[in-house]
Amino acid sequence: MRRIRLLTLTSFIISLSFISCSESIVSECEPDMKVDNQMRASFKDIQEKVFTPSCATSGCHAGSFSSFPNLEEGQSYENIVGKNNLSGNMPLIDPGNSSNSYLFKKLLGEAGSLMPLGGQKLNQNVLDSIAAWIDNGAENN
């Protein structure tokens, strides 16, 4: 009898964990919009809380040329800061100038399709942190 209760309780706990996780399962190239709203204006936080979970995914910005720029950890900074977009007419990240940064304009939906894919803008606190990081010189911090 005790073994049956333990198995029933275990099954119940496992079921609850699947139910609670179902909302966080996202399809390929769909951003995880549950990004921590409290983000420092640092490249490390941007990588960990935006690029890695929402951008550097299979089929998006995970290394192949068709997914330019590569936003994988360890690659992204060198691929975006001071580098031009594919058409060559605007820097992806222009240190000190978020309003002239193509990648930031994509996050705002002001340069073609909104990024990350999914049609929903990142939280304003996250966008403000990214803008502050760029406007403060876009350091690799």
Q: Is 15 a domain residue? A: no
pTM over 0.85: no
Q: Is 117 a domain residue? A: yes
Residue 31 pLDDT grade (very low, low, confident, very high; cuts 50, 70, 90): very low
Residue 16 pLDDT grade (very low, low, confident, very high; cuts 50, 70, 90): very low
Q: Is 97 a domain residue? A: yes
Whole-Å CA distances, 123 to 73, 97, 108, 116: 22, 20, 10, 12
Q: Is 120 a domain residue? A: yes
Mean pLDDT of 60-70: 79
Domain containing 46 equals 37-135
Q: Is 30 a domain residue? A: no
**Hey, which residues does 84 pair with through a beta bridge?**
91
Q: Is 28 a domain residue? A: no
- Write the CB contacts of 21 (distance below 8 Å, at least 6 apart in sequence): none
pLDDT of amino acid 120: 79
pLDDT at 17 over 80: no
Q: Is 2 a domain residue? A: no
Tell me the torsion sign for CA atoms 78, 80, 86, 87: negative
Q: Is 44 a domain residue? A: yes
Give the span between the Cα atoms of 94 and 138, in whole angstroms.
Answer: 8
The mean of the pLDDT values for the chain is 78
Structural domains of the chain, count: 1
Give the span between the Cα atoms of 35 and 44, in whole angstroms.
Answer: 14
Run of H or E residues at 107? helix 102-108
pLDDT of amino acid 26: 31
Give the span between the Cα atoms of 80 and 92, in whole angstroms.
Answer: 5
